[in-house]
Amino acid sequence: MRRFAYWLIPTIAIAVAAFIVAFMIEINPVAPTMQKDASLSETSEPETVEEGSQGWIKNFNINNEKGYFYPVNEVTITLDDNESQNKTQMHHLVVPLKDSYEFFCLKQELKNCNLSYLLNQEGDTMTVLIDSADHKKLTTLVTKLKTYQISATLSSFKED
């Protein structure tokens, strides 16, 4: 009986280990080996930029057909160039304010025109800066402000 118990415990341990190994192999099959394609050989000539951008996409497409999946997102970025900025002429409106009533009147007119503003306050002097590409809106705003006896200067905006 002692001899039977002496061999029973290691035999059960080996059987459990073999079962675990067999189970792990069954749920995680061996990964297939990658085969090199003739189109992806290292001796190919350098490609141009347009062909190179298509090359890696084709590579992922070929691998996708084999059952491989890669999390790839293509992002297209359009950058602003200086030509597009020069096409839209920005205008700059400066309104010096004397008191809070003028500021209230200006805010109401800006709300009606749907324009945003920047308020600069240095000590007792308040200045409102308005930048817009719509010259017509700014000129109508200047004429409306003249009815409130508020002076405003309109100029073309030039960036440094």
Please say whether the beta carbons of 125 and 67 come within 8 A. no
Handedness of CA 32, 37, 43, 45 (dihedral sign): negative
Enclosing domain of residue 94: 89-156
Read off the pLDDT of each residue in 67-89 and give the average, rounded to a whole number: 64
Q: How many domains does the chain have?
A: 1
Cα separation, 143 vs 151, whole angstroms: 9
**Does residue 117 fall inside a structural domain?**
yes
Residues 130, 110 contacting (CB under 8 angstroms): yes
pLDDT tens by residue, 2-13:
788 888 989 999
CATH number of the domain encompassing residue 117: 3.30.70.1150
Task: Dig out the tokens for 128 from the structure.
Answer: 């409102």
What does the pLDDT average to over 119-132? 86
Cα–Cα distance between 10 and 116 in angstroms, integer? Answer: 82
Assessment of whether the complete model's pTM goes beyond 0.75: no
Helices then strands (H, E): number in the chain? Answer: 5, 4
Query: pLDDT for 37-67, tens place per residue?
Result: 555 555 545 444 444 455 666 665 665 555 5
Assess if residue 61 is contained within a domain.
no
Which residues, at least 6 apart from 55, have a Cβ–Cβ distance to it below 8 Å? Answer: 47
What integer pLDDT is reported at residue 49 of this predicted model? 46
Percent pLDDT > 70 in the chain is 64
Instruction: Give domain status of residue 131, yes or no.
Output: yes
The predicted model gives 107-133 an average pLDDT of 88
